[in-house]
Structure 1
């Protein structure tokens, strides 16, 4: 029996092997456990579904990409870093293309719950890819960047699946064009957020000024009236 820590990877590798050999929809968890050489009970302990194994595979790929990053890479322009990160991901996935084609053709064979988890996993993966390339992903603007890269990656992934070149040059050229389009969109969003922030600041200032000058009830001092003003007013009236 393999060590417990290796069982998850054995199951992932077995699942991908079977996906490359047959229709992913027809592959069962029992088939995967048998191919991996682990008991059904151990399979149960390490995964809840085929979708769970796919999410673990995505996380494994994420880790391989991130483990290959050098601090010197951050001296390059962000656009180039992002291309390098995404292409490194495709290089890792290249050995699994037959399996990935089978899985894509079957729509992942995911139910609604697994489908939502898969979306969350891919958003998380793209957030890490952006961070690895030196981009900010916090806040609303960051979330929009993640969503944008997820869309770019999905389109490029389909292109890559049919790219039979040895160096994936056509895929890189396609990715370059799509990221350039996304960068233009990102700059417009950034300007929009800047204008919105400026407008909100002006509105906030006017609201504070209005509150400061608001007339008070009879007999009460207004916010703009100081105790010395009140004393002067009382002396004058008497």
Structure 2
């Protein structure tokens, strides 16, 4: 019996091995248990099904990418760091490409609940990739960045799956173009949110002044000037 801490990785390896051999849709938990040399009870104790195994795989890849970061990389421009981080992710996934093609073809074989969890996992991964590249991911702007990178990654991932080059050069070039376009959009969003925040502050200040005048008993009932 493997050590309990090793069982999740054993299940991941068994599931992806089977996915590389046949359609992910046809892979059952019995198949995974047999391939892993475990009982169904052991599987049940460490995962909630195929969807859970895929989410654990995503977290495993996240950890591998983050653990391999070099502190010197943090001195590079954010755009370059983000490209390096995403390409490192593809390098970590390279050995699993046959399995990933099978999983993508079956759309993960996920039900509604697992699909929502999978989306949440991917958003979480992209947040970590942005954090690792030095981008702020908090607040509305950060959430928009995470959403944008998730969409870019999904498109680049499909490009990477069909990239037969030895160095994934076409994938890197595609990613560079997509991120460059996104950078222009990100800058416009930052300016727009900055203007909106400034307007909200002025509106709040004017409303406080107007409220203060009313409470002090002044007869000036002029509405707050929102044009300032």
Per the normalisation by structure 1, the TM-score is 0.90
Find the counterpart in structure 2 of residue 222 from structure 1: 217
Deviation at 1:222, TM superposition (A): 2.2
Find the counterpart in structure 1 of residue 18 from structure 2: 18
Structure 1: gaps (5+ residues) = 225-238
Rounded to whole Å, the distance in 2 between the matches of 1:134 and 1:42 is 40
Q: Deviations over 1:174-222 (max 9, x none)?
A: 00000011111110000001100111122112112212222x6xxxx62
Rounded to whole Å, the distance in 1 between the matches of 2:110 and 2:208 is 53
Rounded to whole Å, the distance in 2 between the matches of 1:87 and 1:137 is 20
Rounded to whole Å, the distance in 2 between the matches of 1:116 and 1:36 is 27
Find the counterpart in structure 2 of residue 212 from structure 1: 212
Rounded to whole Å, the distance in 1 between the matches of 2:152 and 2:22 is 29
Per the normalisation by structure 2, the TM-score is 0.94
Q: Is the 8 A contact 1:103 1:109 kept in 2?
A: yes
Find the counterpart in structure 2 of residue 234 from structure 1: none
Q: Deviations over 1:148-176 (max 9, x none)?
A: 00000000000000000000000000000
The reply on whether 1:97 has 2:97 as its aligned counterpart is: yes
Find the counterpart in structure 1 of residue 224 from structure 2: none
Rounded to whole Å, the distance in 2 between the matches of 1:17 and 1:142 is 36
Q: Is the 8 A contact 1:212 1:223 kept in 2?
A: no
Rounded to whole Å, the distance in 1 between the matches of 2:173 and 2:218 is 64
Find the counterpart in structure 2 of residue 191 from structure 1: 191
Rounded to whole Å, the distance in 2 between the matches of 1:174 and 1:109 is 28
Rounded to whole Å, the distance in 2 between the matches of 1:23 and 1:166 is 26
Q: Deviations over 1:117-162 (max 9, x none)?
A: 0000000000000000000000111011000000000000000000
Rounded to whole Å, the distance in 2 between the matches of 1:210 and 1:42 is 67
The reply on whether 1:80 has 2:75 as its aligned counterpart is: no
**Shift >4 Å, 4+ stretches:** none
Rounded to whole Å, the distance in 2 between the matches of 1:78 and 1:173 is 16
The reply on whether 1:132 has 2:127 as its aligned counterpart is: no
Rounded to whole Å, the distance in 1 between the matches of 2:91 and 2:180 is 21
Find the counterpart in structure 1 of residue 54 from structure 2: 54
Q: Deviations over 1:41-60 (max 9, x none)?
A: 11111111100000000000
Structure 2: gaps (5+ residues) = 220-228
Find the counterpart in structure 2 of residue 170 from structure 1: 170
Deviation at 1:223, TM superposition (A): 6.4
Larger radius of gyration: 1
Q: Is the 8 A contact 1:8 1:47 kept in 2?
A: yes
Find the counterpart in structure 1 of residue 225 from structure 2: none
Rounded to whole Å, the distance in 2 between the matches of 1:62 and 1:200 is 38
The alignment covers a number of residue pairs equal to 219
